[in-house]
Copies of this chain bind each other. A is one copy, B any other.
Amino acid sequence: MSTDAIVQMTGKLDPRERWSAVDRCSIGKALDVVRTRSAFLVMREAFYGTTRFDDFAERVGLSDPVTASRLKELVDEGLLEREDYREPGSRTRKAYRLTDQGADLFPVLVALMEWGDRWENDGGGVELRHRDCGARAHIELRCEQGHTLESGDLELAVRPRRKRTAA
């Protein structure tokens, strides 16, 4: 087995396990990249298809300087990419588009949206549907055997560090 510890979720924590700390936690690392509310909302807006500076600012409800900062940071982090484009007959414009890394953040936003729908927004204002079959789409936690899970059904396994005392 390739793990060196197993913790029952909601159980006691072995004090020698420091994976909980900042340096091992992917949640913390993710939040270092997408740290602010405005960053999340700019990403939401990119998923909605917004590409232009002024549209980001207006639809997210941010001032121009903050919009500029968030867009630049997200481009620097690799979640968005900026490109020039020109519609025939008009002048060059800038467009911000999701990279693969940015697009991969979608489940996070859907999970936030569904939680907000249930607990903070009286059922929510939008719904996601599968384009091909029209059925509503949801975020789910499932195991590779296909079981649908809740947090209590999980255990957490800590993998050993790679590349260090290779035995």
Give A contacts to B, CB under 8 Å.
Answer: 3, 7-13, 19-22, 24-33, 35, 37, 40-41, 44-45, 47-50, 55, 59-61, 78, 98, 101, 103-133, 135-145, 147, 149-159, 161-162
Closest 3 CB pairs of A and B: A26-B116, A30-B116, A130-B143
What is the bound-complex CA distance between A9 and B47, given in angstroms?
6
Enumerate chain B residues within 8 angstroms of A126, measured Cβ to Cβ: 19, 24, 26, 156-159
Cα separation A47 to B154 with both chains bound (whole Å): 10
Instruction: Known contacts A47-B10, A156-B127, A159-B124; decide if A119 and B104 are in contact (CB<8 Å).
Output: yes
**Residues of the B chain whose Cβ atoms lie less than 8 Å from the Cβ of A121:** 26, 29
The CA of A128 and the CA of B141, in the complex, are separated in Å by 10
Least CB distance from A162 to B in Å reads: 7
Q: How far is the CB of A46 from chain B (nearest CB, A)?
A: 8
